[in-house]
Structure 1
Amino acid sequence: MKLKEDMNPLLLQVFRSVVWVYSFITFLPWYLLSGTGASLERGKRVKALSVSGRPGGPYRSVNSVRQLASTLYPGCDTLDKVFEYAKQRFPDRDCLGTREVLSEEDEAQPNGKVFKKVILGDYIWLSYEEAYQAAVQFGSGLAALGQRPQYNIAIFCETRAEWLISAQACFMYNFPLVTLYSTLGGPAIAHGLNETEVTHIITSKDLLQTRLKDILLEVPRLQHIIVVDDKPTTWPGFPRGISVHNMATVQELGAKPENLSKPRRQPLPSDIAVIMYTSGSTGIPKGVMISHSNIIAGITGMAERIPNLGENDTYIGYLPLAHVLELSAELVCVSHGCRIGYSSPQTLADQSTKIKKGSKGDTSVLQPTLMAAVPEIMDRIYKNVMTKVEEMNSVQRTLFVLAYNYKMEQISKGNSTPLCDGLVFRKVRSLLGGKTRVLLSGGAPLSAATQRFMNICFCCPVGQGYGLTETCGAGTISDMWDYSTGRVGAPLVCSEITLKDWEEGGYYSTDKPNPRGEILIGGPNVTMGYYKNEAKNQEDFFVDGNGQRWFCTGDIGEFHPDGCLKIIDRKKDLVKLQAGEYVSLGKVEAILKNCPFIDNICAYANSDESYVIGFIVPNQKQLMALAEQKRIRGSWEEICNNSEMEMEVLEIITEAAIAAKLERFEIPRKIRLSAEPWTPETGLVTDAFKLKRKELKTHYQDDIERMYGGK
């Protein structure tokens, strides 16, 4: 995606001449010293092969053609052994870090709303030895409170150091850990707790008061609530039979010699480590049973794809730990001696909503080298930066665009651009602390435009990954030397992938030039199935003649000649219109989401109708500017509800759809602008910001009827 240049032709020529002279002088010594030629060849090499010789696979990484990898270190076949290995190897190394809260204050906004702002200090660190001992004592304390091996225990908590310490404690003492998203609604939380029959739950003060307290009477087996916060120490007003404890007091109980000396029943590789409730884009959440060996295989595959991973790395943890992407990423880091500094989406950057103006966000203080993100967050960064570029004066904007296009051309050749990085992109890169060397994207497809933007402006590779809770998050991750876009890379060394024909959608493994079909993932990372849901297990999982377990993803992919996978469709997103045309709603959304007027979009089609409609969360800055241009006045809600504005935006996205070569029947014919953003808290998207189509349909039912002529 080249950016448009709009500057005096003479000045453009002068700039290009300077760049050419600089490139000419520096190219040969830089090329010889940097090893770029080898990196370019590595990026182009074949990364996976069909081990059967058939075009549809199964495909394996060239590094695991003979045998799939399943363990990180010899003898470390359960998660407690992996943590113990890390503790012995990196005892004094910083392990888990939390920023000190110096002060909190309420700040009134112009619209009358009050936001809580915080001023944070430095990170306070636990070493690997200290984190290990904290986990041992907490596990011992849970056992003293009556928690038994192989009986489920739940965690319902925000991402923080105490979450990972609690998880490690449960792994050590063989307590299967039930994970629940902190944004789930009351009925979903109660369903998960009752289905898994938990008697003990680990939570935070905020979630206990705002989410958990209201449903306690609906969870009759619950006996003990452990709150990770230090204060308060007494908890009045809870139903009879429920005891509330602080994490620190449970650790003190566990540290008593009579409790600590009791032998613990260590897990087997086949024992359940986690029952992870998916946020669920449809229906009630399902619990995925993940064994110790599943997780270890998954993190073995992830670790192989991150170059030079080790104790010099710092990872920033802020995504939900109840999501398989974040849990896997943090366990990978712990297994390699990295530091993990904790954050949240509200305190991540200097401009984040809870950071007081003039004070530092978490990335500025921590300066992470590794970071994971979902596409929604990357898309937001991309649009914010590009909006600021549009606001620059003509000279600044053109210099940025020239540098952007020059760097895009250079990285496609495998070359780096230290001058552009230092002079032009340094300020953008500082948004993430300035030291990021690898960005990992997962949870949903990342647009080519956003991926290229992150490559260029943050001066680091973006490893786009593909995996599911049912495969421990492991499936593929793109090679760090591969700067192509729109692909998710080759299979990890722990998994293999085959493509199954899908006749209804017209995808076949014999398709030319590339085999296409439903993605099936096999390997030791494929999980044990859904908790108490045998019918769904029979539908989605199977074991082949060699005893290997497989998961049917429902996603449609194609393999390129170098063994890299591209996600091109999804079975559940396919809708047949009245005239017989098939529309992929995900494809329509992925293309239109790049439009600057759109922050989020949900395409919808009814099989009884002949056209597609859409619900759109518009970009406020772009829409207000358009309203001013059209002399339409009013509040944000009034602008979004204005039928003339709907028509204006529809015209803009129609042009974008035609330019992207969407078919006539794929282009939304009517739209609804939503003044309300879609967040996990609204229940309209998952914690990974995937659309919840069922909930969106219910939410906009009146608009659906209106747009289809019912009202």
Structure 2
Amino acid sequence: MTAYALFEEDPKKIADFVYSHVPIDPKKVANAVPLPYSQEKGYSAVYRNAYCPEKLVSRPHPTLDTLFALFEMSSAKNADIDCMGKRKKLPDGTFGEYEFIDFKTVYQKKVNFGSGIFFVLQNNPYKTDSEVHQRLRYDPSAKETPFIVSIFSSNRVEWALTDLACTAYSLTSTALYDTLGPETSKYILSLTESPILVCSKDKLPSIFELKKNFPEELSNLIAIVSMDTLDLNSTDAQLLQKAHSVNISLFDFEQVEKLGEINRLPQIPPRPETVYTISFTSGTTGAHPKGVVLTQANAVAACTYILCNVKTTSGSKAYSFLPLAHIYERTNLNFQLSVGAALGYPQSPSPLTLMDDVKALRPNLLALVPRVYTKLEAAIKAETVNNSNKPILQSIFKAAIAKKMELQAVEDGAEGRTLLYDPLLGVLRKKLGMDRLTAFTSGSAPIAPETIKFLKAALNVGMAQGYGMTETFAGVCVSQKYEANPGSCGAIAVTCEMRLREIPEMNYFATDEGGPRGELMLRGPQIFREYYKNEEETAKTFDKDGWFATGDIARIDATTGNRLFIIDRVKNFFKLAQGEYITPEKIENVILSQFPVVAQLYVHGDSLKTFLVAIVGLDPATVGRYISKRFQAKLNGNDEIVEFFKNPKHKLTLLQDINGSVANQLQGFERIHNIDVSFEPLKIEDNVVTPTLKIKRAIASRFFKDTFDALYEEGSLIRKEDTKL
């Protein structure tokens, strides 16, 4: 039986109280402190945020202990404010302005859809006597989530509504990814025994085919909800027939909403320990992804940390671009909903439409990944500081950006305002749809400090770099958005504590000069509980005291307030034949930041070889101007450009320019000696990068094996040039 309190606090009053106290003064949460007498042999001291070293925080208010409670608070406070929006496709193929629904409408839709989920499952003709199907009943007294709802689509309003509906009825969700392929989709659906899938219409044929090919393993899947409307007077009728042929009942989203409205059920508020989601990591190893079990308490702790650090108010707008299947964007979703912000969804999952959407939405906050930022940096440089076709404009922007960098480097928090250049940079911001932007955030992979410095200066806006993983429910630390010397990930969150474990075989020690170095270990309310149905991996990941081993190598810098720097991976390095250790991601990030002609880069080495080779993807926006200036040549089309760089002389010049652009930032053994040149060689559909554009090195090394063999066979272009008389 559900327990009810005699008195309940008004959600609007709770919202007023919470909103009035966050974010916390950046100076108060910017640093960490070591706990006295906490250092053990082989480890650094334990560090906590300097704001509250005596405790770890888990929620913003005693009553706000689940995402359900957060949304109840926010929707009561912001009922008539825009909540979710999308752009309607026009007859000419372009997209119109954003159209939004408000919080009270979203609230009604999530209750209707949640009720509808139970209706279509309880009344399903394909229900069997399996253990999973016996739990498809509405039961407010159940102590565990009755079943798992799967979601499969790119970012859209219906994705977020499904997520909210799951929380409203104490259901657990999980997500499938295009990039994981049918085998992994089958693996996730089978492992979770999910009875229902909510997906976009384009996914239906592939799911029907999976059910047909694996009827036993997917026997529990008996209902699919299309996020797109189904017209049964058209070819969509064939989809309905196909669904029934594989024992699946097919509905569209509006149908399920309507069924839920007619057969409405009271919500089932989750408890803090209720499993919110099982997030399957895309991973970079190529093995089956691990399902990270994340509770409502984990989710609220993650929101609490962002509330402490990010200033966003009711009515502000955010762009939901990164895949919602990943925990980074899922955290952004929960945070924005909790503060009354409006979420604009993309017209497509393609990066090519990102800037068009941003211009239409004019967001207040943008959360992206380093490889998107390096493309943005390259595009801005091509139009400003590298625009030799307009020398006066080039000169003005060089002066403006240099001055901004100088002013922003004076001290932490320095915005570098200048009456002389801010109006000019304001024109650039407005042209890009970023005139209302208050901050960028970057996560998922390291970003070069030079990129942060340039974007902060050029766009006159703060930029914060965070660190987190699926297992930590995204960020557990983030730098100040106006950090004088960018590069850190900031101080550990108020919701976590950290320490470093020495790695002697990699020469990382707690006593290293400049601060402790070693594998980052984390503990606290943000950290996940277990890997789904995988006791072996869970046991390997946690030590006897509950510390989670991240696999990332970090440095704690006392001179910057014990802020965290991620410097390596425990396994993400290799040794060249002469004994030098190489961290390829470091080389890639530095070059992508400094040499805008290169849009993609994959650095590869071999323990039997003495030099590095690389896969280079050229940037279509800047390469033409580079070729014209460097080679005095005018080429037509990508094919002609690729052919041009097959000429060893031209390839050598490009290679020398790449290495020369970072000569003062890399060691000699980190130079690249030969390259393969093309456009967009690293494609998600080839499974060589994750949806957040991290390179799957184990898979990519096999995919490009023949190319690397050919480059090593050709030999070092650099050494050939160095030995010429």
TM-score > 0.5, shorter chain as reference: yes
| Residue identity in the other structure for 2:309 | R
What residue ranges of structure 1 are gaps of 5+ in the alignment? 1-40, 106-117, 356-360
Cα distance between partner residues in 1 of 2:430 and 2:402: 17
Task: Give the corresponding residue for 1:143.
Answer: 118
Task: Indicate how the Cα distance of structure 1 residues 123 and 324 shifts in structure 2: closer, same or farther if over 3 A, else same.
Answer: same
Task: Give the corresponding residue for 1:555.
Answer: 552
Once the two structures are TM-superposed, the CA of residue 624 in structure 1 deviates from its matched residue by 4.5
Task: Indicate how the Cα distance of structure 1 residues 703 and 481 shifts in structure 2: closer, same or farther if over 3 A, else same.
Answer: closer
Task: Give the corresponding residue for 1:240.
Answer: 246
Cα distance between partner residues in 1 of 2:223 and 2:703: 37
Cα distance between partner residues in 1 of 2:443 and 2:354: 25
| Residue identity in the other structure for 1:369 | N
Cα distance between partner residues in 2 of 1:424 and 1:299: 32
Cα distance between partner residues in 2 of 1:144 and 1:98: 28
Within the alignment, does 1:134 sit opposite 2:137 as a pair?
no
Which aligned pairs between 1:56-95 and structure 2 lie closer than 5 A? Answer: 56-95=44-83
Task: Give the corresponding residue for 2:689.
Answer: 685
Cα distance between partner residues in 1 of 2:28 and 2:342: 32
Within the alignment, does 1:412 sit opposite 2:409 as a pair?
yes
Cα distance between partner residues in 2 of 1:430 and 1:626: 24
Is the contact between residue 288 and residue 470 of structure 1 (CA under 8 Å) also seen in structure 2? yes
Match of 1:167 among 155, 163, 167: 163
Equivalent residue pairs, number: 641
Task: Give the corresponding residue for 1:37.
Answer: none
Which aligned pairs between 1:417-436 and structure 2 lie closer than 5 A? Answer: 417-436=418-437
Once the two structures are TM-superposed, the CA of residue 301 in structure 1 deviates from its matched residue by 0.8
Once the two structures are TM-superposed, the CA of residue 632 in structure 1 deviates from its matched residue by 9.4
Within the alignment, does 1:379 sit opposite 2:387 as a pair?
no
Task: Indicate how the Cα distance of structure 1 residues 587 and 387 shifts in structure 2: closer, same or farther if over 3 A, else same.
Answer: same
Which moved further from structure 2: 474-483 or 403-412?
474-483
| Residue identity in the other structure for 1:603 | V
Match of 2:643 among 626, 638, 647: 638
Cα distance between partner residues in 1 of 2:601 and 2:85: 37
Which aligned pairs between 1:159-308 and structure 2 lie closer than 5 A? Answer: 159-209=155-205, 211-217=206-212, 218=214, 219-233=218-232, 234=237, 235-236=239-240, 237-238=242-243, 239-256=245-262, 259-261=263-265, 264-283=267-286, 284-307=288-311
Report the secondary structure of 2:107's partner residue: helix
Once the two structures are TM-superposed, the CA of residue 164 in structure 1 deviates from its matched residue by 0.9
Which aligned pairs between 1:311-330 and structure 2 lie closer than 5 A? Answer: 311-330=314-333
Report the secondary structure of 1:587's partner residue: helix
Task: Indicate how the Cα distance of structure 1 residues 406 and 345 shifts in structure 2: closer, same or farther if over 3 A, else same.
Answer: farther
Deviations 1:507-555 (A, max 9, x none): 11111122211111211110012212222212222351xxxx4321111
Is the contact between residue 597 and residue 618 of structure 1 (CA under 8 Å) also seen in structure 2? yes
Within the alignment, does 1:338 sit opposite 2:349 as a pair?
no
Report the secondary structure of 2:585's partner residue: helix
Task: Indicate how the Cα distance of structure 1 residues 163 and 465 shifts in structure 2: closer, same or farther if over 3 A, else same.
Answer: same
Task: Indicate how the Cα distance of structure 1 residues 214 and 241 shifts in structure 2: closer, same or farther if over 3 A, else same.
Answer: closer
Which aligned pairs between 1:507-656 and structure 2 lie closer than 5 A? Answer: 507-542=508-543, 544=545, 549-561=546-558, 562-594=561-593, 595-620=595-620, 622-624=622-624, 629=631, 635-656=640-661
Once the two structures are TM-superposed, the CA of residue 481 in structure 1 deviates from its matched residue by 4.3
Cα distance between partner residues in 1 of 2:409 and 2:487: 14
Within the alignment, does 1:442 sit opposite 2:440 as a pair?
no
Cα distance between partner residues in 2 of 1:434 and 1:185: 39
Is the contact between residue 49 and residue 492 of structure 2 (CA under 8 Å) also seen in structure 1? yes
Is the contact between residue 597 and residue 649 of structure 1 (CA under 8 Å) also seen in structure 2? no
Task: Indicate how the Cα distance of structure 1 residues 346 and 80 shifts in structure 2: closer, same or farther if over 3 A, else same.
Answer: closer
Once the two structures are TM-superposed, the CA of residue 666 in structure 1 deviates from its matched residue by 2.5
Is the contact between residue 474 and residue 525 of structure 1 (CA under 8 Å) also seen in structure 2? no
Report the secondary structure of 1:377's partner residue: helix
Once the two structures are TM-superposed, the CA of residue 622 in structure 1 deviates from its matched residue by 4.9
Is the contact between residue 488 and residue 564 of structure 2 (CA under 8 Å) also seen in structure 1? yes
Once the two structures are TM-superposed, the CA of residue 300 in structure 1 deviates from its matched residue by 0.7
Task: Indicate how the Cα distance of structure 1 residues 418 and 179 shifts in structure 2: closer, same or farther if over 3 A, else same.
Answer: farther
Cα distance between partner residues in 2 of 1:353 and 1:513: 44
Match of 1:700 among 683, 698, 704: 704
Within the alignment, does 1:451 sit opposite 2:452 as a pair?
yes
Cα distance between partner residues in 2 of 1:130 and 1:124: 13
Which moved further from structure 2: 552-561 or 633-642?
633-642
Is the contact between residue 87 and residue 347 of structure 2 (CA under 8 Å) also seen in structure 1? no
Cα distance between partner residues in 1 of 2:557 and 2:354: 44
Once the two structures are TM-superposed, the CA of residue 497 in structure 1 deviates from its matched residue by 1.7
Once the two structures are TM-superposed, the CA of residue 265 in structure 1 deviates from its matched residue by 4.2
Which aligned pairs between 1:473-484 and structure 2 lie closer than 5 A? Answer: 473-484=474-485
Is the contact between residue 475 and residue 521 of structure 1 (CA under 8 Å) also seen in structure 2? no
Match of 1:102 among 90, 105, 110: 90
Once the two structures are TM-superposed, the CA of residue 353 in structure 1 deviates from its matched residue by 4.5
Report the secondary structure of 2:432's partner residue: helix
Which moved further from structure 2: 128-137 or 627-636?
627-636
Task: Indicate how the Cα distance of structure 1 residues 495 and 354 shifts in structure 2: closer, same or farther if over 3 A, else same.
Answer: closer
Deviations 1:197-218 (A, max 9, x none): 1111000112334x43442323
Q: Percent identity?
A: 28
Cα distance between partner residues in 2 of 1:626 and 1:697: 29
Once the two structures are TM-superposed, the CA of residue 456 in structure 1 deviates from its matched residue by 1.3
Aligned alpha-carbon RMSD (Å): 2.6
Once the two structures are TM-superposed, the CA of residue 334 in structure 1 deviates from its matched residue by 0.8
Cα distance between partner residues in 1 of 2:26 and 2:306: 18
Could you list the structure 1 runs, at least 4 aligned residues long, displaced by more than 4 angstroms after superposition: 41-46, 344-348, 352-355, 621-628, 630-634
Cα distance between partner residues in 2 of 1:591 and 1:574: 16
Once the two structures are TM-superposed, the CA of residue 126 in structure 1 deviates from its matched residue by 1.8
Task: Give the corresponding residue for 1:35.
Answer: none
Task: Give the corresponding residue for 1:109.
Answer: none
Instruction: Give the TM-score normalised by structure 1.
Output: 0.85
Instruction: Give the TM-score normalised by structure 2.
Output: 0.83
Task: Indicate how the Cα distance of structure 1 residues 104 and 246 shifts in structure 2: closer, same or farther if over 3 A, else same.
Answer: farther
Cα distance between partner residues in 2 of 1:427 and 1:631: 30
Task: Indicate how the Cα distance of structure 1 residues 698 and 344 shifts in structure 2: closer, same or farther if over 3 A, else same.
Answer: farther
Cα distance between partner residues in 1 of 2:439 and 2:445: 18
Deviations 1:180-236 (A, max 9, x none): 224332212111111111111000112334x43442323343211101112334433
Is the contact between residue 429 and residue 458 of structure 1 (CA under 8 Å) also seen in structure 2? no
Cα distance between partner residues in 2 of 1:333 and 1:143: 28
Is the contact between residue 208 and residue 246 of structure 2 (CA under 8 Å) also seen in structure 1? no
Cα distance between partner residues in 2 of 1:370 and 1:435: 8
Within the alignment, does 1:47 sit opposite 2:31 as a pair?
yes
Is the contact between residue 627 and residue 645 of structure 1 (CA under 8 Å) also seen in structure 2? no
Task: Give the corresponding residue for 2:506.
Answer: 505
| Residue identity in the other structure for 2:68 | D
